[in-house]
Each structure stands twice: as C-alpha cells, then as structure tokens.
C-alpha cells in the first residue's frame, strides 16, 4: 500500500519540521504534532481486523488529525473507560 498525503497535510508536516529545525517552537510540541499526523495517515492505509480495522476506517473517514482524534475519542471513550475501571482488572 502507498501512503499518500493530501497537500494540506504534507504542508503541515513540512511546516512543523521546518519550525523544529529553525527552533521556532519547543521541540516536544513540534515533534508530537508530526508524530500525531504521521500516525493518523499511516493508520488510514492499514488493513487489519478488529480494533485496528475500526480505527483505520475512522482515520480514512476524517479530514484532519484533530477530527480523527475526536472521532477516536467518541468511539473508544466508553471502551477505554471500561478497560481502565479497577473493577475490570484481574486481581
């Protein structure tokens, strides 16, 4: 599979990397943004089954990393809350 980035996404990545190289932003925030965008776009081209497939479909349907993260939080929020609940953990 190919990983193709829309122009807007590629420009956002380019700007983030350029700012990092020029020292215009704190490194951590810039690297985090680049990581989030790349993670979102990589996930969009993945296949798989189960949760990975579900998340890949959400990534394909969204237009921005922020939109993806909001959709992911809406979809996974109850699941993650349940997994984090102490009552659902093994003793």
- What percentage of the chain reaches a pLDDT higher than 90? 18
pLDDT of residue 90: 62
Tens digits of residue pLDDT in 19-33 = 777 776 666 677 778
Pick 15 or 49 by higher pLDDT. 49
Pick 21 or 73 by higher pLDDT. 73
Whole-prediction pTM: 0.64
Q: Is 41 helix (H, G, I), strand (E, B) or coil?
A: helix
In degrees, rounded to 5, the angle at the alpha carbon of residue 72 between the alpha carbons of residues 20 and 83 is: 110
71 near 53, Cβ under 8 Å?
no
Tens digits of residue pLDDT in 77-87 = 887 677 676 66
First-to-final CA distance of the chain: 42
């Amino acid at each position: 599979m190919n990983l193709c980035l829309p122009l807007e996404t590629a420009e956002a990545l380019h700007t983030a990397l350029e700012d990092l190289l020029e020292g215009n932003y704190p490194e951590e925030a810039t690297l985090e943004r680049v990581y989030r965008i790349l993670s979102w776009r990589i996930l969009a081209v993945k296949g798989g089954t189960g949760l990975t497939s579900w998340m890949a479909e959400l990534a394909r349907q969204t237009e921005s990393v922020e939109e993806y993260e909001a959709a992911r939080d809406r979809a996974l929020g109850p699941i993650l809350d349940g997994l984090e609940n102490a009552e659902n953990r093994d003793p």
